[in-house]
Amino acid sequence: MDKILDQLNKEQRLAVEAVDGPVMVIAGAGSGKTRVLTFRVAHLLNLGADPFNILALTFTNKAAREMKERIIKLVGNADAKNVWMGTFHSIFARVLRSEAHRIGYPGNFTIYDTDDSKRLIKAIVKEQNLDDKIYTPNYVLGRISSAKSSLITAEAYNANEEILLQDKMAAKPQLGEIYQTYKNRCYRAAAMDFDDLLLNTYFLLKNFSDALIKYQKKFKFILVDEYQDTNHAQYMIIKQLAANDENICVVGDDAQSIYGFRGANIQNILNFKRDYPDAREFKLEQNYRSTKSIVKAANSIIVNNKDQIFKEIWTENEEGNLIQLVKSATDNEEGTMVANSIFETEMNRQLKHDAFAILYRTNAQSRSMEEALRRLNIPYRIYGGLSFYNRKEVKDLLAYYRLTINHKDEEALKRVINYPARGIGKTSMEKIIVVADQSKSSLWDVIEQPVKFALNLNSGTLNKISTFVTMIKSFRAQLITKNAFDLAKLIASSSGIMKDLYEDKTPEGISRYENIEELLNAIKEFSEKERELQEGEDVKADLPEFRTLDEFMQDIALITDADIQDKNATEKVSLMTIHAAKGLEFPYIFIVGMEENLFPSIQSLGSRSDLEEERRLFYVAITRAEKKVTISYAESRYRWGNLTICEPSRFIDEIDKQYLEFPRRAIINKPTQVKTQPQKPIIHIDKKLKKLNKSQNVYGSEAIPFDESVIEKIIPGIEVEHNRFGRGKVIGVEGAGASKKAAVFFKNIGQKQLLLKYAKLKILD
């Protein structure tokens, strides 16, 4: 018997041991979903399964990496590295690189990110003389992405009268033509966007029966994480691969299906048993993350949804705090309340900033939170901001790498052909594009053979283009003779990017140069890692002894914000939308902006399915918390420049009142004062707090060593010192034992109510 399974609870173990046939694991929030997936793979390996025959699909590279590391620790077998584990996009990109020739692509095709796609769409709209205010890149790309997620090709789109009528009714009749041109231009550039990786995989398996049989035999065990988040294309690919043996295990929680706007279809998980009538179902209902109050409150909310798989989540954790509800007069007051609460809780309980997260429905809500946190000098991190790999200077250098690997990558070529400036201007580039379009050739073909294509440019410009082409070809010639770092550094230097950035001595310029240095550091680290072989590869016979630049580019092509770690994240409060918070957990959670038409969103009120997704989003927000949840709403809020009167969200009424702390109003301008002292609005102490926070050996220092017996010696009238508030005088004491509190007046702060077991006050002589 596999002894590692002794670490699982009964239901987790049953789910892990059911290795044959279709299995659905409904995993409630905090119930050990990742644990089940990890142990299931480890169990398969211990039973003798070939790691190359196991396919495990996740939604982030970070999750896949962490799972693989855990599996290796569990089984102690290096072969575990060979499990096909990764995101849908990374796994199927890997398949397509082997099979691309079947669909007319080279194996070194480029993967366009969202910015590449938007730039291409913007160029197509301009070329077709369309109104860019009607055909915005965001809208057009969203429409194309939605079609691809539904497995609708450009040809099928333009042959569908109903779709074309919808576009016409929306005053965007040229969308189909843009989609077709976009598809053709991607093909010409040997590029696929994210959605193409799924669309092309589906048609590869559908149109080439030998490829389908090959991968059905290869992937004998299929595991899918977060199954409730799969879209139609992902669902159909999984169904194709599992059709032979039906040896498929899906893990997910219908109560956490929140990505309908991205094409996720909750019916995929709700109808799993219809697709696989013999499927066994296991429910993980024990929550290991949250307190009883949080778990029961969440249950009382989600029970209102009609479309769901019923489960009763429970926990053996402590009862914990009730859900706290706070109302504020304005959104700015709400921000101040949240910041003050974080500051005081940190002080009272000696907590770090990373214990707190502020969740909101829309990114725009972060402003008032940021301003309030800055006033108290509380560091924070916003998830979903500009990620490292989206910074201009990083994308510029990556474009050189892309062009080196794939000369036909037109977005990369357009980005760097005149950066750093080498005298190939906008007019010259427009002429090159026109010639390429007329001859149905790639931009690279035109600049590589200007005479053949009768490119009408002056000799000076042609010489500069020739020099550029020669430089890129020289980089390409070293692709398999230099390791990733050596070639990356050579390109950064020879292209002129490092020199251009080094000469900019402004703070912004220095920062950009440092970002290039950090990118090279990442490539250096990648170069030194051991290569993970694919099935059938022989490092001596088939591959270089070192990792190459094209391998690095494949590794980061599908990287997401969730995969990028902030080295300073442990020192910051987290701010993010609830969508971005899925999969994360924090001891203390603030859910702000709980108002009708904001949460639930006004766009969701037209249908029950949309409203139920909003309720699931609220459920996700609450279940991120380990110890305490604070829900806040404002009575008025500025939206689109207008002051709007708000009413509390209907979701607040759905919380069972026995788990809800009696609502109170946020008091931010009338702190409790000693009677002999004049009243000082709390807003006036911000500068003093900043000064205090920045003082040496006070803010951020270790707590003063303290004997708990001293609690009994704290009485009214004595002088004490707090490691962050400074010197103060005890003016009142109440309670006893672990609940004993003291009212202390601090010279710089004013009066504070402190729980003595956490405050660690030092009695002064």
- Give me the DSSP letters along 706-754: --GGGGGG--TT-EEEETTTEEEEEEEEE--GGG-EEEEEETTTEEEEE
Residues 288, 594 contacting (CB under 8 angstroms): no
Question: What pLDDT shows up at residue 725?
Answer: 76
Helix, strand or coil for residue 490? helix
Residues 614, 383 contacting (CB under 8 angstroms): no
pLDDT bracket for residue 740 (50, 70, 90): confident
Contacts of 490 (CB under 8 A, 6+ apart): 475, 478, 482
Two structure tokens written together for 310? 């019923």
Crossing angle, helix 392-405 and helix 549-556, to 10 degrees? 130
pLDDT tens by residue, 601-630? 988 988 999 999 999 999 999 999 999 999
The amino acid that residue 420 corresponds to is P
Catalytic residue among 87, 201, 228, 256: 256
Q: What are the contacts of 316-319 at 24+ separation with CB within 8 A?
A: 316/286, 317/287, 317/288, 317/289, 317/290, 317/291, 317/292, 318/291, 318/292, 319/291, 319/292, 319/293
Helix, strand or coil for residue 530? coil
CA torsion 569-573-579-582 (nearest 10°) is 60
For the question of residue 34 being annotated catalytic, the response is: yes
Q: Looking at per-residue confidence, does 250 or 2 come out higher?
A: 250
Q: What are the contacts of 488-492 at 24+ separation with CB within 8 A?
A: 488/401, 488/519, 488/520, 488/523, 488/549, 488/552, 489/520, 491/397, 491/400, 491/401, 491/404, 492/397, 492/400, 492/516, 492/520
Asked if residue 705 has pLDDT above 50, the reply is no
Regarding beta strands 54-58 and 221-224, do their DSSP bridges make them parallel or antiparallel, or are they unpaired?
parallel
pLDDT tens by residue, 706-716? 445 678 788 88
Helix, strand or coil for residue 84? strand
pLDDT bracket for residue 701 (50, 70, 90): very low
- CA distances 232 to 222, 524, 604, 706, Å, are 17, 39, 21, 59
CA torsion 236-240-243-248 (nearest 10°) is -70
Question: What pLDDT shows up at residue 11?
Answer: 94
Asked if residue 83 has pLDDT above 80, the reply is yes
For the question of residue 79 being annotated catalytic, the response is: no
Catalytic residue among 624, 627, 628, 724: 624
Catalytic residue among 11, 193, 226, 396: 226
pLDDT bracket for residue 733 (50, 70, 90): confident
pLDDT tens by residue, 11-58? 999 999 999 999 999 999 999 988 999 999 999 999 999 999 999 999
pLDDT bracket for residue 64 (50, 70, 90): confident
Which residues on adjacent β-strands are paired with residue 629? 589
The single-letter DSSP state of residue 598 is: B
Catalytic residue among 116, 193, 196, 225: 225
Q: Which of 241, 252, 290 is nearest to 36 (CA)?
A: 252
pLDDT tens by residue, 370-425? 989 998 989 999 887 656 788 899 999 999 999 999 999 999 999 999 999 999 99
Average pLDDT, the chain: 86
| Mean pLDDT confidence for 538-564 | 70
pLDDT bracket for residue 556 (50, 70, 90): confident
For the question of residue 225 being annotated catalytic, the response is: yes
Catalytic residue among 11, 12, 13, 33: 33
Q: Is 80 left (phi over 0), alpha (psi -120 to 50) or beta?
A: alpha
Q: Looking at per-residue confidence, does 196 or 639 come out higher?
A: 196
Helices of type H across 572-674: 578-581, 608-622, 650-653
Helix, strand or coil for residue 608? helix
Q: What's the predicted TM-score (pTM) here?
A: 0.79
For the question of residue 256 being annotated catalytic, the response is: yes
Q: Looking at per-residue confidence, does 592 or 661 come out higher?
A: 592
Which residues on adjacent β-strands are paired with residue 720? 728, 763
Asked if residue 692 has pLDDT above 90, the reply is no
Q: Could you give the CA distance from residue 735 to residue 89 in angstroms, rounded to a whole number?
A: 58
Helix, strand or coil for residue 250? strand
Q: Could you give the CA distance from residue 671 to residue 689 in angstroms, rounded to a whole number?
A: 15
Q: Is 329 left (phi over 0), alpha (psi -120 to 50) or beta?
A: alpha
pLDDT tens by residue, 645-667? 899 999 999 999 999 986 555 55
Q: Could you give the CA distance from residue 403 to residue 471 in angstroms, rounded to a whole number?
A: 11
Half-sphere exposure of 764 (CA within 13 A, CB side): 12
Q: Could you give the CA distance from residue 610 to residue 603 in angstroms, rounded to a whole number?
A: 8
Catalytic residue among 2, 17, 34, 206: 34
